[in-house]
Amino acid sequence: MNYQVNKKGYYGNYGGAFIPEMLYQNVEELREKYLEIIYEESFQNELNTLLNDYVGRPSPLYYAKRLSEHYKSNIYLKREDLNHTGAHKINNTLGQILLAKRLGKTRIIAETGAGQHGVATATVCALMGLQCIVYMGEVDIERQAPNVARMKLLGATVIPAKSGSKTLKDATNEAIRDWINNPVDTYYIIGSVVGPHPYPDIVARFQSIISKELKSQLLIKTGNENPNYIIACLGGGSNAAGIFYHYLEDEKVNLIAIEAAGKGIHSGYSAATSVLGKPGIIHGSKTLLMQNEDGQIIEPYSISAGLDYPGVGPLHANLFETKRALFASVTDKEALDAAFLICNLEGIIPALESAHALAYLEYLKAKENDVIVINLSGRGDKDLATYLKFMK
Ligand SMILES: *Cc1c(COP(=O)(O)O)cnc(C)c1O
């Protein structure tokens, strides 16, 4: 099986580029040029130097001894939380901004949910001296206030999205609207493996550094580059795509994607797209999508702003349909409990998103000799207010 995107921009039955005519030129230019640009030697040199010296890569692979004892297995954490700006998002923003510069773009726009992608975008725009506009749902602006402050400090303009659930999907709609109005000078940095082709492939390639590093780190630590399980949380799916990427064709490695069940999958307050979703089109691609009988999007919900999205990227829709990855979900409460557990056992405060992946350890029937890798996609500084509210 091949799980990569094909020439037409599809992962199996999912993907494509369903875009308004006004954006056709932009997306087509990107599609024609992206592979050539990003695999050029000078591009790779510039990107790798910044990944090492600015982001702090490679991110450590940490053997979580006390967590392993607790679950009677061998648990490693891939520490994307230690990256500059506190999450995996910067792997992608750095790559895309170098791409934007080579395309001659001067104005950068982005959407953000938890604010991590917005912060990462504002950061690289400051680094490169480019104008930065970030769209963010009004609800998210409130619950992720520290990240809004960081974006402003870094010189970005944050524009609230006031429609719908006032969260990530609405911010994405606003960003697309801006792009339609400014097609010539503006580059839209999408923050996850979503959007029209070639975006999902661009983001997956930039995030694939995670599994590239993981292979050599595991080989050194365990003598085998393949773990038994890889677990990642799934919003749009970029951190999962990154840590799955170099294992996709190796069917011996079990890939597990964890969605947000919110207050319960069928409670009406959930973002468990693989269970509740059907094929549909959102933000330019055909994928699994939470929608009612009329095709209207059902408002998603999760305690974690980064997982609060009604779809998954087309790569993941295909992994779900082909059963290459196992999709499961955990509730707000289970994620909070997992966060408190790892705070106490390992001295690590995880992002609420990452806590969803950790929570699945309660369900995984691993053996004593199994090797489990969890992608710790980000750190919990931005979630302190939520944690304090629920701390016992
Ligand atoms: C944005 C974010 C996510 C969710 O996005 P993906 O594209 O699914 O990775 C997960 N964890 C953290 C820390 C994030 O900032």
Mean pLDDT to the nearest integer, 68-90:
98
Domains belonging to the chain, first-starting first, are 11-50+89-203 (3.40.50.1100), 56-87+208-390 (3.40.50.1100)
3-state DSSP assignment of residue 369: coil
Q: Is the CB of 87 under 6 A from ligand 1?
A: yes
What pLDDT digit, counting tens, does each position of 324-361 carry? 999 999 999 999 999 999 999 999 999 999 999 999 99
What pLDDT digit, counting tens, does each position of 189-228 carry? 999 999 999 999 999 999 999 999 999 999 999 999 999 9
Task: Reply yes or no on whether the pLDDT at 1 is more than 80.
Answer: no
d(CA 333, CA 35): 42
Q: How many Å lie between the centroid of ligand 1 and the Cα of residue 221?
A: 27
d(CA 34, CA 199): 10
What pLDDT digit, counting tens, does each position of 147-177 carry? 999 999 999 999 999 998 899 899 999 999 9
β-strand pairing of 277-282 with 10-11: unpaired
What pLDDT digit, counting tens, does each position of 255-314 carry? 999 999 999 999 999 999 999 999 999 999 999 999 998 989 998 999 998 998 999 999
Is residue 221 among the annotated active site residues? no
| Type and span of the H or E element at 132 | strand 131-137
d(CA 31, CA 297): 28
What pLDDT digit, counting tens, does each position of 242-259 carry? 999 999 999 999 999 999
Q: How many Å lie between the centroid of ligand 1 and the Cα of residue 335?
A: 14
Q: How many Å lie between the centroid of ligand 1 and the Cα of residue 160?
A: 20
For residue 15, give both structure tokens.
């993907």
Is residue 111 among the annotated active site residues? yes
Which of 199, 160, 156 has its CA nearest to residue 23? 199
Confidence of residue 392 (pLDDT cuts 50, 70, 90): confident
What pLDDT digit, counting tens, does each position of 104-113 carry? 999 999 999 9
Task: Reply yes or no on whether the pLDDT at 134 is more than 90.
Answer: yes
What pLDDT digit, counting tens, does each position of 94-105 carry? 999 999 999 999
User: Which residue among 82, 88, 96, 273 is best mutated to probe the pocket of ligand 1, counting the most ligand atoms within 8 A of its Cβ?
Assistant: 88
Q: How many Å lie between the centroid of ligand 1 and the Cα of residue 183?
A: 27
Confidence of residue 36 (pLDDT cuts 50, 70, 90): very high
Handedness of CA 100, 105, 111, 116 (dihedral sign): positive
Burial 54-77 (b: 16+ CB within 10 A, else e): ebebbbbbbebeebbebbebbbbb
Tell if the pTM clears 0.75, that is, is over it. yes
| Type and span of the H or E element at 316 | helix 314-321
What phi and psi, each to the nearest 5 degrees, are found at residue 228? Answer: -80, -35
Tell me what pLDDT residue 106 has.
Answer: 95
Hey, whose CA ends up nearest to atom 7 of ligand 1?
A: 238
User: Which residue among 194, 230, 238 is best mutated to probe the pocket of ligand 1, counting the most ligand atoms within 8 A of its Cβ?
Assistant: 238
Tell me what pLDDT residue 40 has.
Answer: 98
Burial 226-252 (b: 16+ CB within 10 A, else e): bbbbbbbbbbbbbbbbbbbbbbbeeee
What pLDDT digit, counting tens, does each position of 135-148 carry? 999 999 998 899 99
Tell me what pLDDT residue 354 has.
Answer: 98
Comparison of pLDDT for 361 and 183, the residue scoring more: 361
For 11, counting Cβ atoms within 10 Å of its Cβ (0-12 exposed, 13-18 middle, 19+ buried), the class is: buried
Tell me what pLDDT residue 114 has.
Answer: 86
What phi and psi, each to the nearest 5 degrees, are found at residue 78? Answer: -85, 115
**How far, rounded to the nearest angstrom, does the alpha carbon of residue 149 sit from its chain's CA centroid?**
21
Residue 197 corresponds to which amino acid?
H
